[in-house]
Structure 1
Amino acid sequence: MHARVVAATAAAVLGTAALLSPASDARAGDVGATTVIAHRGASAYAPENTLASIDKAAQLGFSWVENDVQRTKDGELVVIHDDSLQRTTNVEQVFPGRAPWKVKDFTAAEIARLDAGSWYSPAYAGTRVPTLKEYMCQVEHNHEKLLLEIKNPELYPGIEQQTLKLLGNQSWLDQKHLGRLIVQSFSADSIRTVHKLRPAVTTAYLGAPGVAQLRDYARFADLINPSYGSLSPAYVSAVHSFDGPHGKPLEVFAWTVNDAPTARKVAGYGVDGLITNKPDVVRAALGSD
């Protein structure tokens, strides 16, 4: 790993990213060198982190989807963003005496009883919280690619090993699938663990480490994925000036960009990807429609 002289223009940076991206091949829904990732699926148009949301992303023509993985009381990996079931299911009605309704306090069978769609729209009544196994089967069926977030790893000791085991059992760690998978987390320790266990897997750190820290992060992360509000062209250039663990320049996927002016502004910084609830809006803003 070494620092390099960065190209002087955003166009040059974008061109380099297109050639060297760990996710650069055949990216449906992309705009030039900018990957568009459907956040929790196409979550502006279907209930987040459900099979319906990734189906909607596929219908809109997007191959990259993002999700969140947590663990039940009896050790099942499930796809849900919050550590509580309260916001996106009817858990209060089904289990009224079990506040604060934490995912880790419910079995997989109990969570399977919950309605994870009615909160969003009556049209999605009966939608369920998917297990990660169910979710991976649907991603495969849709020929999609996955930005998988290990959520709240401090609540679930060993979740990195368990997630990788499930991915391996679903053939997602073979050569065919490695280019379709990125594992990310807000926990640097969690991403270090993933990289140590499976060095071939592309990994991403969620956040914006200081420039002085980037050399260390580049030892175990291929991407730095910050909130778009924390970004500047100079920071993106600094990230691109380091090679990650697979010998390619670090990339930047910015989240969560949901409107056209912001999409154009942040893309102009030279980021490699935009994570969005409204992938069609971002695609149109960047000129592919």
Structure 2
Amino acid sequence: MHARAVAATTSALLGTATLLLPASDVRAVEVGDPPTVIAHRGGSAYAPENTLAAVDKAAGLGIRWVENDVQRTRDGKLVVIHDDNLRRTTDVEEVFPDRAPWKVKDFTAAEIARLDAGSWFGPAYAGTRVPTLEQYVRRVDRNHQKLLLEIKNPELYPGIEQQTLKVLANESWLDRQHRSKLIVQSFSADTVRTVHKLKPDVRTGLLGTPNVADLPGYAQFTDQINPSHSTISTGYVSAVQAFTGAHGKPLEVFTWTVNDATTARRVARYGVDGIITNTPDVVRNAVGAP
């Protein structure tokens, strides 16, 4: 996830909100349940991001939630990859040297399946592939994990919201058993709104740090506000959680991307509900999460 997508609330507003937060609320943060730990792109500090190996690494660490990114190929297949091009995490430049700028949307699923998505991370992962969304959710399910799914760059892929939900439905991820294990998020408010309209039972999250004044509108169709850790304070988290989300519960805050113990403890004191991290074992130990 990138911080570019949504403007942060002003520091003055956050500072004021922090000062106005009752002391009892601060104490509740300190003694309450620890935040949920979510493995960002799988166990991405320890295995190639957004791959089945990363999912398995998170499972091996005992991490129940994984986060991923979904984009679409030229022939309309959904694949799990963060960037809108293939250069950083595959050997696409070697396999297809004449296909610059190597955008995901310009390659078929079969072509992407040929790429090595692991050697860049380390020789032990040579030959790792970019998974399809179907492959990914099956692995998550097999590992008895939960999924925070980001619809990436929806402006590049018209209709990707409906298509993502169709894949999830085909893989039984929209049945009653799985719905409690799924959250669909995006930086695009329109995408989050669309997902909620198409499948109102699915929990959703809006990435970024929207102004508190805009939260009543977002709360109509989302269950979470998920900001960068560098943009929040106790006051902002408390302000978000004061609103009731789309499913009748307080809006949650899953913050990203926290990779060290000091920052993890700081945002836990803010009262966040979840921490998205490349190093889930480090964060779990820091905040005392199960």
Question: Would you say same fold, with TM above 0.5?
Answer: yes
CA offsets 1:193-238 (integer angstroms, 9 cap, x no match):
0000000000000001101001111001100000000001100000
Rounded Cα–Cα distance in structure 1 between residues aligned with 2:197 and 2:215: 18
SS at match of 2:259: coil
The amino acid of 1:60's aligned partner reads L
1:66-85 map, 5 Å: 66-85=67-86
1:176-255 alignment, distance < 5 Å: 176-255=177-256
Q: Contact 1:34–1:271 at 8 Å: present in 2 too?
A: yes
- Aligned equivalent of 1:102: 103
SS at match of 2:174: coil
Equivalent positions of 1:38-57 (< 5 A) are: 38-57=39-58
RMSD: 1.5
User: Are 1:9 and 2:25 matched, yes or no?
Assistant: yes
Once the two structures are superposed, the pairs formed by residues 155-170 of structure 1 within 5 Å of their partners are 155-170=156-171
Structure 2 counterpart of 1:283: 284
Q: For the structure 1 residues 168 and 6, does the alpha-carbon distance in structure 2 shift closer, same or farther, using more than 3 Å as the test?
A: farther
Q: Distance in 1 between matches of 2:180 and 2:141?
A: 13
- The TM-score with structure 1 as length reference comes to 0.91
CA distance in 2 between counterparts of 1:253 and 1:188 reads: 16
Q: Distance in 2 between matches of 1:240 and 1:123?
A: 43
Residues 16-67 of structure 1: per-residue CA shift (max 9 Å, x gap):
xx8xxxxxxxxxxxxx331000000010000000000000000000010000
Aligned pairs, how many?
A: 270
Partner Cα separation in structure 2 for residue 120 and residue 39 of structure 1: 16
Deviation at 1:285, TM superposition (A): 1.1
Residue-by-residue CA offset, 1:110-129 (whole Å, 9 max, x unaligned): 00000000000000000000
State how far apart, in whole Å, the 2-side matches of 1:245 and 1:63 are. Answer: 24
Alignment of 1:144 with 2:145, yes or no, is yes
Shift of the 288–155 alpha-carbon distance from structure 1 to 2, 3 Å rule, reads closer
Contact 2:34 / 2:268 at 8 angstroms: preserved in 1?
A: no
Match of 2:66 in 1: 65
For each residue in 1:59-97, what CA deviation from the matched residue of structure 2 results, as whole angstroms up to 9, or x when unmatched? 000010000000000000000000000000000000000
Shift of 1:12: 2.9
* 3-state SS of paired residue (1:275): strand
Residue 21 of structure 1 corresponds to none
Alpha carbons of structure 1 residues 288 and 162: separation in structure 2 relative to 1, 3 Å: closer
In 2, are the aligned partners of 1:11 and 1:270 still within 8 Å (CA)? no
Structure 1 gaps of 5+ residues are 19-31
Q: State the distance in 2 between where 1:136 and 1:11 align.
A: 38
What is the Cα deviation at residue 9 of structure 1?
Answer: 1.7
Matched residues in 2 for 1:180 and 1:258: separation? 23
Give the share of equivalent positions with the same residue, in percent.
71
The AA in structure 1 aligned to 2:158 is P
**Pair 186,137 (structure 1): closer, same or farther in 2 beyond 3 Å:** same
1:286 Cα deviation after fit: 1.4
Say whether residues 1:87 and 2:75 are aligned partners.
no
SS in 2 for 1:69: strand
* Aligned-partner Cα distance in 1 for 2:26–2:37: 18
